[in-house]
Amino acid sequence: MFFCAISGEPPQDPVVSSKSGHVYERRLITKYITDNGTDPITGEKLDETDLISIKANPATAPPRPPTLTSIPALLHTLQNEWDALVLETFALKQQYNSARQELSHALYQHDAATRVVARLMRERDAAREALASVQATMGVAPQPTAVASDVEMVDESAEAGGLPEDVTELIEQTHKTLSATRKKRKVPSTYTTPSQLRAFTSKHTIPSLHASSPAGINTLALSKLNPSQFLTGGNDKIVQLYDRDSGKVLATLKGHTKKVNHVEFREKEGESTLLLSGSADKTVRIWSHDADSGEYAPQQTVKIHKGEITGLAVHPTSTILALSSMDKTYSLHSLSTFQPIFHAPATTDVYTSLSIHPDGTLLALGTSSSTLQIYDIRTGAIAASLTSGDGANPFSVHTSSFSENGYHLAASEGDAAVAIWDLRKLKSVHSIGLDEGYKISRVRYDPSAQFLGVAGSTDVRVFLNKSWEELVKFDGSAVADLAFGEDGKELWGVGGREVRIWAAKDE
């Protein structure tokens, strides 16, 4: 039986090429010759006059159709098809994983090669300078060097002089926009007043959010787009997204190998919501929301630091992630490409906290030596250095918060005091002393810059800005983190395995 070289099926009207000797179905080869004028197999010039009809006896019969004459035979055929599909899917999955690993390896090699090239170029330039100095000493005229060929190889990411130009421009634009509106902005009429906050009482408790061993929730973040949703991270290495209205856990995110210290939302109009978490395992994990499935899937794991993550914040542009670590460095990462855009060189002090100015140009980093280092985020240069105490008994500045108007910075001053720094005068204008034995876990300004919340080992307290009068105090148990709800109508706190909410009785 003959088979057509084009279709692979027995031809009804077979012809053979006198040039190549291949058998074709007449209608298929005629159409191909009309369109191309060549032999489809050999590519040689071919004309219809080169085709010779084949007379077969008996006449070529079409293949017999499958004998699906019974239900068992049909089921057997479907089973075979399904098995073939599953095997093919498995093979494709293996190929995908292999390609992904190869790509990851290639990206790592590219990054390493880029860094090596940048280092070699710096060494080359240093050697050229040394040679020029020696030549000048010996009175030998220096030879011209051709450097034009390697100018394009300079790795901007290896430069420690600041951020890429496009990122700097975005930060500048955001700064101008936010600072201009902030000067004119007033507290909304619907916002909670000091007298209303004094009347806050325990309103709601959500228990047993994380595992009992090891127990403890360390951090809390509230969603701005969905006020009933909040994010928690705990000692059980888990990040949980919870919806208060429905009373359900929306996502349980695993991956960290040690306790979770910080969580944040990245919510930007027109882009998917990102959940971010920093851990004692030296990594930051990013989960992205899938609009189709409604679930959160792992997007990226940041492994740039060699020490525990001590600070995590999303820049006002919503496109930059800032991190601090116990490895004495801080870094900035793009939330669009998930690649590092700046990694500061190591300092002599461990960074113990991080916060970003509401206008987006300053970065406050607490250290283990009683000092707050204020950096210009655009250049990486120190803008100010704020030191508390007498230096005889250094302490860690493990929490800080900028006021929304951008004028003040609150930071822990030892375990039982909060220092209020005036950024216009670069000095401490007030110190809030707490009870002996008290251990501060978090300080946080509210979005209106009227109130300062302090969470600690025995309670939560809220102070009135400027006068620093204590408005309310919620005794009970240790609170690791706190947050102000929408319009200041609620105060949230986490401690143990619970999330507690305080509000006015009629709210």
* H or E element at residue 130: helix 71-138
CA distance 315 to 321: 6
Alpha helices in 416-495 (DSSP H): none
Question: Cα 477 from chain centroid?
Answer: 33
Q: The domain 1-64: what is its CATH number? A: 3.30.40.10
Looking at the chain, how many residues does it have?
507
pLDDT at 291: 77
Residue pair 363/322 in contact by the 8 Å Cβ criterion = yes
Residue pair 432/446 in contact by the 8 Å Cβ criterion = no
Tell me the domain boundaries of the chain. Answer: 1-64, 67-138, 165-503
pLDDT at 242: 95
Identify residue 233 by its one-letter amino acid code. G
- DSSP classification of residue 45: B
Q: In a 3-state reduction of DSSP, which class is residue 196?
A: helix
How many of the other CB atoms lie within 10 Å of CB of 458? 17
> Any idea what the Cα angle at residue 151 is, between residues 148 and 152, rounded to 5°?
120
Q: Who contacts 61 (Cβ-Cβ below 8 Å, separation ≥6)?
A: 10
Please give the average pLDDT of every successive group of 10 residues along the chain, which has 507 residues.
83 90 91 89 90 76 65 86 87 90 91 90 83 63 41 36 84 89 80 92 89 90 92 95 92 94 93 94 93 85 95 95 96 93 92 94 93 92 86 86 92 93 92 91 93 94 93 89 94 92 81
pLDDT at 161: 53
Predicted model pTM: 0.68
- DSSP classification of residue 66: P
pLDDT at 455: 95
Identify residue 401 by its one-letter amino acid code. S
Beta-sheet pairing, 260-266 with 440-445: unpaired
- Phi and psi at 314, nearest 5°, equal -95, 130
Alpha helices in 212-344 (DSSP H): none
DSSP strand E in 28-82: where? 51-53
CATH architecture of 165-503: 7 Propeller (2.130)
- For the CA atoms of the chain, what is the radius of gyration? 34
CA distance 464 to 197: 10
Residue pair 227/485 in contact by the 8 Å Cβ criterion = yes
Identify the burial level of 229 via C-beta atoms within 10 angstroms of its C-beta, where 0-12 means exposed, 13-18 middle and 19 or more buried.
buried
Q: Which of 276, 273, 363 is nearest to 316 (CA)?
A: 363
CA distance 73 to 70: 5
Identify the burial level of 329 via C-beta atoms within 10 angstroms of its C-beta, where 0-12 means exposed, 13-18 middle and 19 or more buried.
buried
pLDDT at 134: 66
pLDDT at 59: 57
CA distance 409 to 359: 13
Q: Who contacts 423 (Cβ-Cβ below 8 Å, separation ≥6)?
A: 362, 374, 384, 406, 407, 408, 409
How many of the other CB atoms lie within 10 Å of CB of 321? 26
- DSSP classification of residue 467: T
Characterize 420-449 residue by residue with b for buried, 16 or more Cβ atoms within 10 angstroms of its Cβ, and e for exposed. bbebeeeebeeebebeeebebbbbbbbbbb
Assess whether the region 1-64 and the region 165-503 belong to the same CATH fold.
no
CA distance 43 to 36: 9
Q: In a 3-state reduction of DSSP, which class is residue 313?
A: strand
